[in-house]
Structure 1
C-alpha cells in the first residue's frame, strides 16, 4: 500500500514524490550547473510552515534569470515534483518557483540586494533569542 506521499501515475502505478532534501539538492545542482550566482539555501524548518527550505540565487541578466527558472521547472518536472507554480517570468527581474517544500527565488543582482530576503529569513525567531 502506498504511503502518504505516493500518488498514482497515468498507468495507475503508485509513484512517490521526491523527499524535500532530494528536491533541495536537485535545485542546488541545477542552479550550479547553469551558472547561477551567489546561491544560498536557507533552512525554514521551525520558522514557517510554508516550506522546508528556501533557495535564493542571482542571474546575470533578465535572460539568464528566465533561463534559470526554465531549467529549474524542467528538472523538477523530470524528478516528479508536481504542482510547480511560477511567478515573475514575464519581467524576469525576480522569478519565484514554488516547488512545494522548496521555494526558489531567482533575482537580477540589483533586485536581490534591494529585497535582501536572506537577511529577513536567516534571522532568528523572536522566541529563539536569549533574554539578556
Structure 2
C-alpha cells in the first residue's frame, strides 16, 4: 500500500460516508486473521446502493494507486467484499450484516476510530 493502512481506512470510510453508506466500523484484526490486518464493515440500503458504494471505493483507491486484489459481489449483491490486501472491506445490506455478524466473529479485535469529514458530504459522488 502506498499510504498507511490508517490513511486507506479513512479514505475508504470517507467515500462510504459520501455515498450515504452507514454504520461504518473499522477493526484491527492483526494477529487474529491470516488474510488481512484491517476490516472495514459498512452498510448500504439495497444491492444497487452497495454496488455504487463499492465501485466508488475502488475508483478512489485506484486514483491513489491502490489496486484491489479481489472483488466479489459488486454485480449481484447485498454483500460485497473488496480485498485491498492489508484492508478488506465488507459492504452489507442491513439484514445480512446482522445475520453474519462479523463484529461478533472478530469481537477480540480492536475498534479503530475513523476520521470522517461530515462537513462536506457528497464529495465522492461529484466525480
- Report the TM range for the smaller structure's normalisation: 0.7 to 0.9
- Normalised by the length of structure 1, the TM-score is 0.76
Q: CA RMSD in A?
A: 1.5
CA shift, 1:79, in A, is 1.0
Aligned length: 109
Q: For the pair shown, which has the larger CA radius of gyration, 1 or 2?
A: 1
The gaps in structure 2 that reach 5 residues or longer are: 110-127
- Normalised by the length of structure 2, the TM-score is 0.79
Structure 1 residue corresponding to 2:93, chosen from 108, 112, 124: 108
The gaps in structure 1 that reach 5 residues or longer are: 6-16, 125-132
8 Å CA contact 2:58–2:67 kept in 1: the answer is: no
Q: Which has the higher contact order (CA 8 A, sep 6+)?
A: 2
| Cα distance in 1 between the residues matched to 2:74 and 2:92 | 11
Does the C-alpha gap of structure 1 residues 49 and 33 become closer, same or farther in structure 2, counting only changes over 3 Å? Answer: same
User: Is the counterpart of residue 29 in structure 1 residue 20 in structure 2?
Assistant: no
Structure 2 residue corresponding to 1:72, chosen from 44, 47, 57: 57
Task: Kindly provide the CA deviation profile for residues 9-57 of structure 1, in whole angstroms up to 9, marking residues without a partner as x.
Answer: xxxxxxxx22212111111111111111111111111212322210110
User: Is the counterpart of residue 88 in structure 1 residue 73 in structure 2?
Assistant: yes
Task: Extract structure 1 runs of 4+ deviating beyond 6 A.
Answer: none
